Structure 1
C-alpha cells in the first residue's frame, strides 16, 4: 500500500500503517534526507533477513536509523568524544557514524564485528516513524544493481509486494549519500565521502582523516 504523505490525512494513515508494520516484523519504505530507504525492526532477525532478501540477497549489514540522539546512548557503553561532537554538529542529517555497539544488544544485523553504522535522518516523516518504532535497520530502497529510489513509487516498482507500506513524500531534494565516519579506532576516519564535506567535519574534529584505498 502506498500512502501519499504530502496529504495530511494520508500521512497520518501512512505513518500509523508503517509503525504497525515494523512492529509486526514487516518491511516499510520511507523517505529520508538522502534517498528512500527500506526498513525493518533492527531487533527482529527475520525482518532484517527479509530486508536483505527484498534487495536481492545482500549480505552487507544494514545501517541503523534512529529517531533521537538519546537513542544512541542505549546502543553503546561508551561513546567517543569525537562521536558526540559530530552528532551534536550534524544530527539530524546526512552523517553516518560507525561505533562499537553494546554486546548485550539482542539483534542480528548479519555482522559479528561488534560495530554498527548509525544515523538520525533529517526528514519529518522518517523521524515520526522512528520515534515510535525505535531503531530500524534501513538500506537504500532498491534491488541490488538498480538505481537508488528517489520516490516511494520508484521503490515500489523495484520491491513490489515484499514491502507492506510505502510512504511517499515526493522526490528526494538532494539524493547524495550520507558521509560515513568510522569512530572505532584511535583516529576518526571518513570511510565514504558524501553530503557532508571533509572541511566541515574537520571544523568539528580536527584530527579526522580520510581512508586511503589501495
Structure 2
C-alpha cells in the first residue's frame, strides 16, 4: 500500500511533504487534502503520470484533470491569457474553491488529455496542498475516487478506493466541506458556469456581471 503520513503531526507532515514531492518528480501519484475534497495528484508535465492518474480513477482522456497551482504566477505561465475577468476572479476567490477554464499556453509540452486547447486551473485554500505545490510546481489533480464513486473526504476513504496505485497519502484529516469547486469557463466572451459548487452564481456575478448558466 502507499505510504501514509499524518499531517497533524509536524514531523510526519514534514517527512510526508518531502516524500510526496519526490514521488511526484518521479512520475508517481500522491493523494493530498484540498479545501474541497481529497485529490489524486500527478506532475502536470509528465504525460505518463497523468495517464496513470486517469487509469487510477477509471477515466479516459475525454475527461482531462484540472491543474492545481501554488501561486498566481504559476497560473499565469500556463495560460495564453486570463481573459477579461480572470484576474478579478483570482483576486476575489483564490486561494479557494473556484476553478477557471482558460486557453492553455500553446508553447507548453504537456498532455492532460483531450483538452481542446484549454486548461482548468485552481489554487486551493489548504496549507498542505499549497506547501506541496510550492515544492512540485503545477500538478494535475482530480478528486480521489474511482470514477462514479463518491469523492473521498478522508485519506482512509481515498486509500480504500485507490489502494497501491498511490505512492504517498498525505492525511490532512476529514474534509470540512465536500462541496466541489465552482467551475467557470472564461474562454468565450461571456463567462459560463460549467459546474455549480462552493461559490454561488450570485457571488460570481458580483465580480464579472453576467454569468451564463445553461
Q: Into which bin does the TM-score normalised by the smaller protein fall?
A: over 0.9
Unpaired segments ≥5 residues, structure 1: none
Over the aligned positions, Cα root-mean-square deviation in angstroms equals: 0.9
Check the 8 A contact 2:182/2:198 in 1, yes or no.
yes
The answer to whether structure 1 residue 82 and structure 2 residue 85 are counterparts is yes
Distance across 1 between alignment mates of 2:17 and 2:115: 32
1:201 counterpart residue number? 204
Alignment of 1:123-134 (within 5 A): 123-134=126-137
Alignment of 1:13-162 (within 5 A): 13-59=15-61, 60-162=63-165
CA distance in 1, matches of 2:111, 2:174: 32
Partner of 1:181: 184
**Distance of 1:30 and 1:121 partners within structure 2:** 11
Instruction: Find the residue that maps to 1:38 and give its secondary structure.
Output: strand
Find the counterpart in structure 1 of residue 5 from structure 2.
Answer: 3
Superposed displacement of residue 209, structure 1:
2.2
Shift, 1:132, TM fit? 1.0
Unaligned runs of 5+ in 2: none
Distance 1:32 1:112, change over 3 A: closer
Deviation per CA, 1:86-144: give whole Å up to 9, x if none.
01100000000000011111100011400011000000000000011111001110111
Residues 58, 144 of structure 1: 8 Å contact kept: no
Find the aligned partners of 1:77 and 1:18 in 2 and give their Cα distance.
30
Instruction: Give the conservation status (yes or no) of the 8 Å contact 1:100–1:114.
Output: yes
The SS at the match of 1:201 is helix
The 1:83–1:10 alpha-carbon spacing in structure 2 relative to 1, beyond 3 Å, is: same
Q: How far does residue 72 in structure 1 lie from its aligned partner after superposition?
A: 1.4
Task: Calculate the TM-score normalised by the size of structure 1.
Answer: 0.96
